[in-house]
Chains A and B, each alone.
Chain A
């Protein structure tokens, strides 16, 4: 029987959580870029994603990829109302930190830093974990709610809502925090189980 799984014995693996950019390698063969059907290309939504093995792997089920991507983009980038971009990225980073997705945490910790200019606070979340004091109650409440929502069996409760309200979030903002944290329980499980992160060649020489 043909082995459909690829392993990478000599991969340059990250050793901890980081805000620096990481690569990602797939354990199953992605659709080759020049073999993508029109339907698969359409499902990528952004043409540049045809370069990325993760999205070309998910293109094996284009309907699911397309709906996943449009859900993601609206939860994170529709800023017509609701909570700010930084808090959405923080919810994604905290969820990824708690579930243990080093790749997802790197992307969304860097995005939280970009949106807030609070690199040291974001780094504390990565270095110390989800119990770190990030310096203000709004951020601490977002992390706490994200961690509560990541638990299985589900345990997020009225105390988590009370803490978010106490930190000044209204219903629309809380819906966004729930949406961002919930979505990363989806993303984390795909990135963790279909491949793994690698330190890109350009960074291997620097400490």
Chain B
């Protein structure tokens, strides 16, 4: 590829190249370039190895749906449809069943037990597991944990992935993928909201 591919955060934020906020982003050119390189390393790797693209796009679509970010969910669902169209419906069903308002969960720290907040501990249904397979189902369970109740992550959750045939290298990559998306979606969403509320105009308040 000789042509520079589109900046994915700009795409998800709805910013055109050369727009005022895209220009502000250029002040952090290294951050912009490396957010893009993170996307390429985690979602378009030259050598996906034992973590195939279909699984990566299924996880990404699930993450975007849990975040309620329509444009991002459509973007990742498109990638998924190219790679593994049969996964689209089960991922959508899993995200609907897993919908919850985070961050929540129980702390490990004894002095923080008063701040524990209960919430959905989602696990794939037998239908989901049958449709996506045990390996991807385990990844979806871990993804839901990381997106919504990261404070509840424990060593036993990594053991559950290992039991579902996830190697240590691929567990690190899965963790980076979900964590990176948690950044990427917020960076794009924040820019989108900022662009919709320019300084020159009165700020849109609730309901307007």
Q: Which residues of A contact B (CB under 8 A)?
A: 1, 3-7, 13-17, 27-29, 57-58, 60-61, 63-68, 70-71, 73-75, 78, 80-82, 98-102, 129, 149-154, 156-162, 165, 170-172, 174-176, 178-179, 181-183, 185-190, 192-194, 196
Contacts and interface: CB of A to CB of B under 8 A. Distances in A.
Given A162-B205, A174-B194, A181-B186, A153 B67 contact: yes
Nearest to A170: B199
Contact of A151 (B29, B101, B146): B101
Binding site secondary structure of chain B: helix
A192 B175 CA distance: 10
B197 interface: yes
6 contacts: A70-B34, A71-B30, A100-B107, A156-B190, A182-B184, A193-B158
Interface string B30-47: 110111011001100100
Contacts of A153: 66-69, 99, 101
Contact of B30 (A17, A60, A73, A188): A73
Given A61-B173, A64-B180, A179-B31, A160 B193 contact: yes
A149 B67 CA distance: 11
B66 to A, nearest CB: 6
Given A70-B30, A75-B31, A193 B186 contact: no
B109 A15 contact: yes
B176 A68 contact: yes
A2 B112 CA distance: 34
Interface in B112-168: 112, 115, 145-148, 150-151, 153, 155-159, 162, 167-168
B130 to A, nearest CB: 24
Contacts of B52: none
A190 B176 contact: yes
Nearest to B163: A1
Interface string B18-32: 001100110111110
A75 B186 CA distance: 14
Contacts of B197: 158, 161-162
A74 B178 contact: no
A159 B155 contact: no
A34 B186 CA distance: 37
Contacts of A66: 34, 37
B28 A78 contact: yes
B205 to A, nearest CB: 6
Contacts of A15: 109-112
Contacts of B66: 152-153
B171 interface: yes
A151 B67 CA distance: 9
Given A161-B197, A179-B31, A193 B67 contact: no
B21 A193 contact: no
Contacts of B199: 165, 170-171
A71 B193 contact: no
B204 interface: yes
A35 to B, nearest CB: 14
B201 to A, nearest CB: 11
